[in-house]
Amino acid sequence: MRFLLRPGWIAFVVAVLAFVVACYTLLAPWQFDREAQRDAQNQQIAEADATAPVPFAELVPAGQGVSGDDVWRRVDLTGTFEPGSEAVARLRQSSGQPAYEILTPLRLADGRTVVVNRGSVFAGDRGEIPAYAPPPAGTVTVQGRLRTNETDPAARAPFTESGVRQVYAVDSREVAGITGLTTVEGIVALDQGQPGVLTPIPVAPPGGGAPFSNFSYALQWLTFGLVALVALGIFIRLELLQRRPDRDRPVSLRDQLAGRDGYAPEDTGPGGDAERHDQNTRSTT
């Protein structure tokens, strides 16, 4: 087993063990956590669907923002859209195609301003923002789902181009920063058929729609770790078999003395292997 102390074998064993540790302590638990999060989200959506809409102020009192416990809940809002303070969220997708999402502030009767996601529009042939229907004028009552703010991982700043305010995340704080409005923290995504809605933002169905759940991926990582350990054992065994002398095939005395076929005299001193073989040879002759 001394071959395991060679640099190449040490590096190989360390790499395999590191992969196994990663599978069992990082990758599989990560997928288990994602499965738990998805189950919790699906449960939250199912409970929201089974609950009748309530006034916005009931779930989001004055001075507060949208709570994570109330995400997906349906609410009614009455107010006036402010298209002059509209912003467009970039780099979105709708039905697998590039799209933009239209964020329009809605001023409520109590004076607060809520950022409403009116839905998405498909990007133009060259990626430009297409023309889309404006929100209705005057006082309207709309229904939508509560959402918390998104966060842009790259922390890209909003900007204005050709008179259009653009942001990289559906975030009321970004809209407030680029428009100068004071907005409620959180978003309301309009439901299908509501005044001013475009292509509504889809809601993930309970149970999810992925062909393989995160739980299956977690089991795969556990299996990969086990396979890596078994493979390591097989490679070590093969190396041992290659290094073991072949004792099944008869070996002539001449080959033994010459050290061929896995036999080599280890002691050339008095009484050693070499001397005993010399004596055997003389007695035979």
Give residue 91's pLDDT band: very low, low, confident or very high (50, 70, 90).
very high
Q: What is the C-alpha separation between 76 and 177, in angstroms, rounded?
A: 26
pLDDT digits (tens, 9 = 90+) for 28-61: 898 888 888 888 788 888 888 899 999 999 999 9
Task: Answer whether residue 92 shows pLDDT above 90.
Answer: yes
Rounded average pLDDT over 203-221? 69
pTM of the full structure: 0.68
Residue 88 has what pLDDT?
97
Task: Answer whether residue 209 shows pLDDT above 70.
Answer: no
- Tokens 């599989």 map to which residue? 28
Residue 259 has what pLDDT?
53
pLDDT digits (tens, 9 = 90+) for 176-185: 999 999 999 9
* Stretch among 77-91, 139-153, 266-280 having the lowest mean pLDDT: 266-280
Task: Answer whether residue 274 shows pLDDT above 50.
Answer: no
Give residue 218's pLDDT band: very low, low, confident or very high (50, 70, 90).
confident
